[in-house]
């Protein structure tokens, strides 16, 4: 098995196209970060007194103000923000000023948060686990611009990574010539089963290692360039219904990144085994990735799309599944990640043996061939009978 895995690994990296695509993917977070920083310096964003600021300067000033306002969101905190806002108005600060915009947004975010908390807490349809979270957790306000930029880069990188998994691992089961023992494996079902297992091990291992490398590159680069001091700022202030800090969301993003690699690799390998045509397999993979954007199902839109990598990689929409009625009944599954892990773990348990069986040409997968053989045998027997009669 180890020998087969090494041969599959060597064959994968022997392709110049594969190596080029891997280099592009690993460089993408750095290029995205550099482009984002450059674009922000060129974009006019807000005013500070009579000075025009670009987006990078404005966000830095806004985060400094949010840092000075850091604290637990409660009625007294909202009242303080309102007083500060009134002082700015008395000083003649324009609404276009970044200080006014930041304070105004902080006030209304806090006000709507408390209003939303009361509405959800006293709603009889709210799941018990949600009500428990609302009663036991508090919301902290603080800087978050650096984290928002990091999540955006993370989201784009993760979606590109998912697409690359569909392409890179989709043809792995259609390249039997990679093994020097091809003739032996073709005549030995057990050998073909080992080859299928080796291909699965290599594809999933590469997908997970690639995700880990992307996360490391992204974490190091953003930590060096972006201001990530607001790790304890809660996402409740960003108009969601989950009580997570940015540090917690970062770990969830890593989990979703790994899950997307497993999901796309699983689907790519499955279609490759079943279809046996690389172009069709890749087309089905792209359809799988884009399906939530192409098909809208009334009443199921949220739950339907949340299980596809193109959608559950939207890290700023962590509260998607909580709003679905069928999930509210389940209660304990209101958190997003456990449900996604359960679904895709079940699919892996079901589909991996199917892929190994199909690749190993087990008899149960040869029903059409058996029927064809049986039909030919019956026809041959009938011809023999007719020939005997004529004789």
3-state secondary structure the chain: CHHHHHHHHHHHHHCHHHHHHHHHHHHHHHHHHHHHHHHHHHCEEEEECCEEEEHHHHHHHHHHHHHHCCEECCHHHHHHHHHHHHHHHHCCCCCCEHHHHHHHHHHHHHHHHHHHHHHHHCCCCCCHHHHHHHHHCCCEECCCHHHHHHHHHHHHHHHHHHHHHHHHCCCHHHCHHHCCCHHHHHHCHHHHHHHHHHHHHHHHHHHHHHHHHHHHHHHHHHHHHCCCCCCCCEHHHHCCCCCCEHHHHHHHHHHHHHHHHHHHHHHHHHHHHHHCCHHHHHHHHHHHHHHHHHCCCCCCHHHHHCCCHHHHCCCCCCCCHHHCHHHHHHCCCCCHHHHHHHHHHHHHHHHHHHHHHHHCCCHHHCHHHHHHHHHHHHHHHHHHHHHHHHC
Q: Would you state the pLDDT for residue 133?
A: 72
Of 85, 110, 141, which closes a domain?
141
| Whether 354 and 378 share a structural domain | no
Q: Which domain holds residue 390?
A: 364-391
| Whether 247 and 306 share a structural domain | yes
| Whether 325 and 289 share a structural domain | yes
Q: Would you state the pLDDT for residue 151?
A: 85
| Whether 137 and 70 share a structural domain | yes
| Whether 64 and 148 share a structural domain | no
| Whether 27 and 158 share a structural domain | yes
Q: Would you state the pLDDT for residue 363?
A: 44
| Whether 332 and 192 share a structural domain | yes
| Whether 369 and 354 share a structural domain | no
Q: Would you state the pLDDT for residue 229?
A: 86
Q: Would you state the pLDDT for residue 65?
A: 92
If one counts the domains in the chain, the total is 3
| Whether 165 and 205 share a structural domain | yes
Of 125, 141, 157, which closes a domain?
141
Q: Would you state the pLDDT for residue 30?
A: 94
| Whether 264 and 340 share a structural domain | yes
Of 90, 125, 141, which closes a domain?
141
Q: Would you state the pLDDT for residue 54?
A: 83
User: What's the pLDDT tens digit per position in 9-56?
Assistant: 787 778 888 889 899 999 999 999 999 998 888 877 777 777 788 888
Residues of the chain with pLDDT under 70: 127, 129-130, 173-192, 235-243, 293-306, 312, 314-337, 358-391
| Whether 29 and 159 share a structural domain | yes
Q: Would you state the pLDDT for residue 76?
A: 92
Q: Would you state the pLDDT for residue 376?
A: 55
Q: What is the largest CA-CA distance in the chain?
A: 116
| Whether 126 and 231 share a structural domain | no
Task: Give yes or no for a contact between 63 and 143, defined as CB atoms under 8 angstroms apart.
Answer: yes
């Amino acid at each position: 098995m180890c020998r087969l895995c090494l041969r599959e690994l060597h064959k994968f990296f022997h392709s110049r196209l594969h190596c080029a695509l891997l280099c592009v993917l690993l460089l993408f977070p750095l290029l995205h970060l550099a482009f984002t920083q450059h674009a922000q310096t060129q974009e006019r964003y807000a005013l500070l007194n009579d000075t025009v600021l670009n987006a990078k300067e404005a966000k830095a000033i806004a985060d400094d103000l949010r840092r000075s306002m850091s604290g637990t969101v409660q009625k007294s905190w909202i009242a303080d923000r309102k007083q500060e806002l009134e002082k700015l108005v008395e000083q003649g600060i324009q609404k276009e000023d970044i200080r006014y915009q930041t304070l105004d947004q902080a006030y209304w975010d806090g006000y709507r948060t408390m209003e939303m908390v009361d509405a959800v807490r006293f709603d009889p349809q709210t799941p018990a686990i949600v009500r428990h979270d609302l009663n036991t957790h508090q919301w902290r306000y603080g800087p978050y611009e650096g984290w928002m930029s990091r999540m955006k880069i993370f989201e784009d990188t993760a979606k590109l990574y998912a697409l690359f998994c569909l392409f890179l691992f989709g043809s792995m089961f259609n390249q039997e010539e990679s093994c020097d023992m091809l003739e032996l494996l073709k005549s030995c079902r057990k050998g073909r089963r080992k080859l299928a297992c080796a291909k699965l091990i290599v594809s999933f291992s590469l997908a997970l290692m690639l995700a880990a490398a992307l996360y490391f590159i992204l974490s190091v680069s953003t930590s060096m360039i972006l201001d990530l001091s607001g790790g304890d700022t809660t996402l409740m202030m960003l108009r969601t219904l989950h009580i997570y800090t940015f540090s917690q969301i970062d770990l969830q993003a890593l989990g979703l990144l790994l899950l997307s690699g497993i999901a796309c690799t699983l689907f790519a390998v499955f279609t490759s085994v079943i279809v046996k045509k690389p172009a069709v397999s890749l087309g089905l993979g792209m359809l799988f990735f884009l399906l939530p954007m192409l098909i809208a199902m009334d009443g199921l839109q949220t739950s339907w799309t949340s299980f596809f990598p193109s959608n559950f990689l939207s890290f700023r929409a962590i509260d998607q599944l909580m709003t679905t009625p069928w999930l509210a009944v389940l209660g304990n599954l209101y958190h997003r990640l456990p449900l996604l892990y359960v679904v895709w773990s079940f699919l892996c348990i079901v589909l991996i043996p199917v892929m190994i069986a199909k690749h190993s040409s087990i008899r149960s997968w040869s029903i059409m061939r058996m029927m064809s053989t049986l039909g030919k045998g019956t026809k041959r027997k009938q011809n023999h009978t007719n020939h005997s009669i004529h004789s």
